[in-house]
Amino acid sequence: MKTLSTIAAILIATTAATAQTQLVRGEVDSVSGTNRFVLDCTRIPLVSATVDLRALHDATRQQDLFVEMQVRNAGSPSQPVLDVVSATIRPETFDMGNLRFGRSESWEVFGVPGSPAWVFVNHRSQTGYLPLGAAGTWLLGNALPIRNGTISGVGRFRFEFTMPTLPALVGQEFSAQAIVQENGVFRITEPDCKEVRND
């Protein structure tokens, strides 16, 4: 936890307190059977009068892409509702491996070679909302650090993770996010999430 608190302190210290919009990286997920949307891998509602959220959802579905959004929080700090003002589709910078008992799965963080990277995980129900200026938005709340390393010469930090066999977790969903320090500047990636499976 010390690593996360140190990084958070640095990010908060460099964040402008009066930003008009906030930078959020992620995907637009539709709420089944409704015309509503949430920020994927969280419980945070998304709304917009200027951006077609359905088109963003469809553009990134089943592809290695995410959306970089400028948003305004139309809710409260503890119960955010993000009003998407503008959005740009980007290639993914973080890929979480599957969570299957006893199987080793590859996780990847993409970025500038030589950059340090930290990967964190939390239960999806425990995600939060902490905008940190140009670095992006921290969505995992009080997350558990699971790995750190350096982006290789091919532009990725790759590691293997084996899900412990904990039957009580089957069907539960976990979200992960990475922080990368590129040329001295922190960048918070989009989140990814997976459901725990026993097959």
User: In the 3-class helix/strand/coil scheme, how is 32-87 assigned residue by residue?
Assistant: CCCCCEEECCCCCEEECCCCCHHHHHHHHCCCCEEEEEEEEECCCCCCCCEEEEEE
What pTM, to 2 d.p., does this model score?
0.88
The mean pLDDT value for 73-89 works out to: 95
Give yes or no: residues 72 and 117 share one domain: no
Check residue 175 and give its pLDDT.
Answer: 97
Domain boundary at 91, 124, 147, which?
91
Give yes or no: residues 44 and 102 share one domain: no
Give yes or no: residues 99 and 6 share one domain: yes
Give yes or no: residues 97 and 190 share one domain: yes
Give yes or no: residues 50 and 134 share one domain: no
Q: Partners of 72 in the beta sheet?
A: 83
Give yes or no: residues 110 and 184 share one domain: yes
Check residue 20 and give its pLDDT.
Answer: 86
> In this structure, what token pair is assigned to residue 199?
């097959």
What is the domain count for the chain?
2
**Amino acid in position 77:** P
Which stretch of 9-23, 86-100, 130-144, 155-169 has the lowest confidence by average pLDDT? 9-23
Between CA 128 and CA 138 the distance in angstroms is 8
Give yes or no: residues 81 and 103 share one domain: no
Check residue 17 and give its pLDDT.
Answer: 41
**Amino acid in position 24:** V
Q: What is the CATH number of the domain that holds 78?
A: 2.40.50
Inform me whether the pLDDT recorded for 41 exceeds 50. Answer: yes
Give yes or no: residues 86 and 99 share one domain: no
Please name the residues in contact with 166: beta carbons below 8 A apart, sequence gap of 6 or more. 101, 196
pLDDT digits (tens, 9 = 90+) for 92-134: 999 999 999 989 999 999 999 999 999 999 999 999 999 999 9
Check residue 14 and give its pLDDT.
Answer: 47
- For residue 102, give its domain range: 2-16+93-197
Please work out, in degrees rounded to the nearest 5, the angle formed at the alpha carbon of residue 119 by the alpha carbons of 142 and 86: 80
CA quadruple 145, 149, 154, 160: dihedral positive or negative?
A: negative
Give yes or no: residues 73 and 121 share one domain: no
Give yes or no: residues 104 and 51 share one domain: no
Ramachandran sector of residue 148 (left: φ over 0; alpha: ψ -120 to 50; beta: rest): beta
Domain boundary at 91, 115, 145, which?
91
Give yes or no: residues 114 and 150 share one domain: yes
Please name the residues in contact with 104: beta carbons below 8 A apart, sequence gap of 6 or more. 160, 161, 162
Give yes or no: residues 68 and 6 share one domain: no
The mean pLDDT value for 3-8 works out to: 57
